Amino acid sequence: MGLEEQAGSGQLAGQLLIAMPALDTGVFAHAVIYLCAHGPEGALGLIVNQPAPPQRFDDVLQQLQVAPLPPARRIGVCLGGPVETGRGFVLHSADWTGEGSLIVDEHMALTGSLDVLKALAGGGGPARGLLALGYAGWGPGQLDREMQENAWLSAPAPLDLVFDADHPTKWRRALASLRVDPALLSPTAGHA
């Protein structure tokens, strides 16, 4: 799913997906995903609570030959998902857009071009941002089926939760925003 200038997204775009305890292994265990697009053709989101420890923003800029180094501004780097892990996407506040930016909603945008990295390195760009390496993607109807199977909860996406660096607590805080106690969630998916 490529980035487009207009979102054309469904009702879940701009929301958080919170992994249920049944998703207890792999990249989606305790994942909090910001959903950037959702529609008949599929869905695209970025995991926002898995920092990329060996990858620092400066390292990414150096690999891509984006100047200046050191940059005037830095943003956090996360493992955005298991698809196209060698590709970077900047989830950012909608106060800045560049060529090919996907406008998610009035608060957020997603940019996959070097324009946003150049702007940030030079001291400009969006007020808030997060660089995600890779993304989470779903084919047509796949996310809807997973939602019906209780693999995910959806919740509003407060910008402070999306962009802060307190990654270990994001899953619990996202659940708390729904007034859900993780201790009361069943580790097996199903229907009542």
One digit per residue, the tens of pLDDT, for the chain of length 192 reads: 344 433 444 689 999 999 999 888 899 999 999 999 999 999 999 999 999 977 789 999 999 999 999 999 999 999 999 999 999 999 999 999 998 899 999 999 999 999 999 999 999 999 999 999 999 999 999 999 999 999 999 999 999 999 999 999 999 999 999 998 887 776 665 554
- According to the model, what pLDDT value does residue 188 have? 61
pTM value > 0.85: yes
- According to the model, what pLDDT value does residue 187 have? 63
Closest CA to 10 of 129, 144, 128: 144
- According to the model, what pLDDT value does residue 54 have? 72
Q: What are the residues whose beta carbons fall under 8 Å from the beta carbon of 87, sequence distance 6 or more? A: 112, 133, 134, 135
- According to the model, what pLDDT value does residue 1 have? 38
74, 124 in Cβ contact below 8 A? Answer: no
User: Could you tell me whether strands 32-39 and 83-93 are parallel, antiparallel, or unpaired per DSSP bridges?
Assistant: unpaired
What's the helix, strand, coil split of the chain in %, to 5?
Answer: 25, 30, 45
- According to the model, what pLDDT value does residue 190 have? 53
Write the class of the CATH domain 15-184. alpha beta
Amino acid at 86: G
72, 106 in Cβ contact below 8 A? Answer: no
